[in-house]
């Protein structure tokens, strides 16, 4: 069927639903399997329901369902990817189709990094009015059928809920049923999807008029009260934020203040001034909804996208509380789910562009310090996948080393850890530098919900013991301990800990002797793994009952 498969290539594709008939007729289908997310939502700290302000990203690009619709990837040159997952809380996939089901590659990438994904239900213009009239102006049965279908779709495809965007005038009968519809939808989604969310976009008022408020007020509060959050329109000023904060009361973090990165209309700041908007939003303790950050790609061009993307998110970092990992194992080769080649064990296996968001790996923090340190993605060389993490910086004069924070943790430390590292030093004198991992801890019982940056100093700084050969029983898992290849160096470490919590994993770059001059370095990271020794020894489960179907030999 054309909905599930590209008519030109027969490859499986992600799809949307148009109109009420398609929504109500939707049934699970045997052709759906490609579209079901295979990656469960990873746990992270602090959890979504903690009371600190959140960051929602609403991805709206050229109508949606571009190359990202190809579930098994495509040979796209310079595709759009998002990888600053540590800095955000919720990802919304937006398009102007009635029912936007997020392409499964996005859901897989977001879930692997602990971020829930919402689809969009939108009605607009005169067609939207008719659609709303047909399911809202009737009885309870009609709107309940719609909310039950939306909840079933989210549950079936394994994404996490809906943004509801009613951008048309409603009749008195229809608007009267809107709060009960939203309440029922929210209850259905909560029941069908663990941690499910329904967020309402600031559009129609309680009397059915379409008028964007740019704030929470008595005209739209009735909708906010029956769902999980309000996404405001973009043309607010500081007084809107002040009034919103007062009216929202204890639910102030459920207000997602809209920031249009394209800066359309009268806004505080978009583009590279988006930080001005975020500064004000955070001063009032509210959450933020960053709309169309694909501006970086669409407006500044595809060629220097990765550099501009790091610059854009780097400019916002001080207003984006980051997230910590709270489960092991952690293993990543930093791949973005795209590349100009594919690498395996440090060797280029296949040249040519590729794009597959499902193949994106766990992404680190991307620390930037003007002139002293930058972390970026390197597509020219990798250990595995399409890219490595490039860390460039300087060791200040008289200092012996510098630590670059890659991941933060918030979890009890197991008694024994194994760590592995694959790296490649570039530059004129790599032999003068050493590279290792550093792990910081704090005493058990200290757990903080605030912004990660304001935590107390760690009280333990550990330099794991280097293992020249893997311990018995782990030779297969840690096979790369003593052998890199193609210029990559491989290292294994072990660390014994007692009664403490993991805090930060950093890359330590040091020189043998402090130098009176600043020493610059460039290091590519190919892979990092942190393994709990106890579970590392357990062999993985065998694959059961493998089946192949829909075979077509050519």
Query: ω into residue 329 within 30 of 0, thus cis?
Result: yes
pLDDT 10s digits, 315-332? 999 999 999 999 999 999
> What is the secondary structure of 102-162 as a DSSP string?
PPHHHHHHHHHTT--EEEEEEEEHHHHHHHHHHHHSS-HHHHHHHHHHHHHHHHHHT--EE
Q: How many CB atoms lie within 10 A of CB 8?
A: 6
pTM beyond cutoff 0.75: yes
pLDDT at position 452, please? Answer: 45
> What is the secondary structure of 332-359 as a DSSP string?
E----SEEEEEEETTEEEEEEEEE-GGG
In a domain, 4, yes or no: no
CA-based R_g, the chain, Å: 25
Burial class, 55, CB count within 10 angstroms (exposed 0-12 / middle 13-18 / buried 19+): buried
**Which residues are within 8 A (CB) of 370 and not within 5 positions of it... i.e. 6 or more apart?**
none
CA distance 263 to 472: 59
pLDDT at position 453, please? Answer: 43
Domain range spanning residue 260?
Answer: 53-63+86-321
Burial class, 25, CB count within 10 angstroms (exposed 0-12 / middle 13-18 / buried 19+): exposed
Looking at the fold, whether 442 and 400 belong to one and the same domain comes out as yes
In a domain, 7, yes or no: no
Domain count, the chain: 2
In a domain, 360, yes or no: yes
Burial class, 346, CB count within 10 angstroms (exposed 0-12 / middle 13-18 / buried 19+): buried
In a domain, 235, yes or no: yes
CA 445, chain centre distance (Å): 28
Q: At which of 321, 338, 355 does a domain end?
A: 321
Three-state DSSP state, 519 = strand
Nearest CA to 409 out of 327, 526, 519 is that of 327
In a domain, 22, yes or no: no
Q: At which of 295, 321, 347 does a domain end?
A: 321
pLDDT at position 99, please? Answer: 98
- The maximal CA–CA distance of the chain, rounded, in angstroms, is 79
CA distance 401 to 433: 9
- Asked if 438 contacts 419 with a C-beta cutoff of 8 angstroms, the reply is no
DSSP state, 210? B
DSSP state, 250? G
Looking at the fold, whether 338 and 190 belong to one and the same domain comes out as no
Looking at the fold, whether 269 and 383 belong to one and the same domain comes out as no
Can you list the positions of beta strands (E) in 125-267?
Answer: 161-167, 197-201, 229-231, 255-260
In a domain, 12, yes or no: no
- Asked if 204 contacts 229 with a C-beta cutoff of 8 angstroms, the reply is no
pLDDT at position 445, please? Answer: 56
Angle at CA 251, nearest 5°, toward 247 and 252?
A: 70
Angle at CA 476, nearest 5°, toward 471 and 482?
A: 65
Query: ω into residue 46 within 30 of 0, thus cis?
Result: yes
Could you tell me the CATH number of the domain that includes residue 429?
A: 2.60.120.260
- Asked if 207 contacts 176 with a C-beta cutoff of 8 angstroms, the reply is no
- Which segments of the chain have a pLDDT < 50? 447-454
- Asked if 446 contacts 409 with a C-beta cutoff of 8 angstroms, the reply is no
Looking at the fold, whether 334 and 282 belong to one and the same domain comes out as no
pLDDT at position 484, please? Answer: 67
Q: Which two tokens stand for residue 38?
A: 């295979």
Looking at the fold, whether 210 and 275 belong to one and the same domain comes out as yes
Could you tell me the CATH number of the domain that includes residue 306?
A: 3.20.20.80
Tell me the CA distances in angstroms from 124 to 171, 185, 258, one per residue in order. Answer: 14, 19, 19
pLDDT 10s digits, 516-553? 999 999 999 999 999 999 887 777 788 999 988 777 77
Looking at the fold, whether 93 and 236 belong to one and the same domain comes out as yes
Q: Which two tokens stand for residue 112?
A: 């692997």
Nearest CA to 213 out of 236, 230, 229 is that of 236
Looking at the fold, whether 281 and 367 belong to one and the same domain comes out as no
């Amino acid at each position: 069927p054309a909905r599930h498969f590209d008519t030109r290539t027969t490859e499986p594709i992600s799809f949307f639903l148009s109109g009420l008939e398609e929504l109500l007729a939707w049934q699970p289908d045997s052709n759906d399997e490609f579209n079901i997310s295979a990656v469960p939502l990873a746990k992270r700290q602090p959890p979504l329901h903690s009371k600190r302000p959140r960051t929602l990203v609403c991805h709206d690009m050229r109508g949606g369902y571009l190359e990202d619709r190809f579930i098994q990837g495509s040979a796209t040159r310079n595709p759009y990817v998002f990888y600053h997952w540590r800095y955000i809380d919720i990802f919304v996939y937006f398009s102007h189709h009635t029912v936007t089901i997020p392409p499964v590659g996005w859901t897989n990438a977001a879930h692997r990094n602990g971020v829930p994904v919402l689809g969009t239900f939108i009605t607009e213009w005169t067609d939207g009015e008719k659609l709303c009239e047909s399911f809202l102006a009737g009885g309870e049965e009609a709107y309940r059928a719609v909310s039950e279908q939306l909840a079933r779709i989210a549950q079936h495809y394994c994404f996490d809920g809906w943004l509801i965007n009613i951008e048309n005038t409603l009749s008195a009968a229809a608007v009267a049923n809107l709060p009960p519809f939203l309440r029922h939808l929210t209850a259905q989604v909560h029941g069908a999807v663990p941690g499910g969310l329904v967020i309402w976009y600031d559009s129609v008022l309680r009397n059915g008029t379409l008028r964007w408020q740019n704030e929470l007020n008595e005209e739209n509060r009735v909708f906010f009260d029956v769902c999980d959050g309000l996404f405001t329109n973009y043309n607010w000023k500081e007084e809107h934020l002040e009034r919103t904060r007062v009216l929202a009361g204890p639910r102030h973090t459920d207000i997602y203040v809209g920031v249009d990165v394209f800066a359309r209309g009268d806004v505080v700041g978009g583009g590279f001034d988006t930080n001005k908007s975020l500064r004000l939003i955070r001063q009032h303790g509210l959450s933020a909804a960053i709309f169309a950050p694909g501006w970086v790609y669409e407006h500044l061009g595809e060629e220097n996208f990765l550099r501009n993307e790091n610059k854009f998110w780097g400019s916002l970092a001080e207003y984006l509380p980051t997230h910590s990992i709270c489960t092991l194992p952690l293993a990543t080769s930093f791949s973005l789910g795209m590349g100009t080649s594919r690498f395996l064990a440090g060797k280029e296996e296949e040249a040519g562009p590729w794009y597959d968001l499902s193949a994106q790996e766990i992404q680190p923090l991307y620390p930037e310090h003007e002139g002293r340190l930058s972390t970026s993605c390197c597509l020219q060389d990798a250990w595995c996948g399409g890219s490595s993490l490039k860390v460039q910086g300087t060791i200040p004069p008289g200092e012996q080393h510098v630590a670059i924070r890659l991941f933060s943790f918030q979890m009890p430390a197991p008694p024994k850890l194994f760590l592995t590292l694959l790296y490649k030093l570039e530059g004129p004198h790599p032999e003068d530098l050493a590279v290792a991992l550093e792990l910081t801890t704090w005493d058990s019982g200290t757990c903080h919900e605030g912004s990660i940056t304001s935590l107390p100093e760690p009280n333990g700084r550990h330099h794991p013991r280097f293992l020249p050969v893997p311990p018995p029983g782990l030779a297969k898992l840690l096979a790369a301990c003593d052998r890199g290849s193609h210029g990559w160096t491989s290292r294994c470490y072990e660390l014994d800990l007692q009664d403490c919590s993991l805090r930060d994993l950093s890359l330590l770059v040091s020189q043998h002797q402090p130098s009176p001059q600043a020493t610059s370095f460039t290091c590519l990271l190919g892979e990092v793994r942190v393994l709990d020794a106890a579970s590392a020894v357990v062999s993985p489960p065998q694959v059961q009952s493998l089946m192949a179907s829909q075979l077509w030999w050519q």
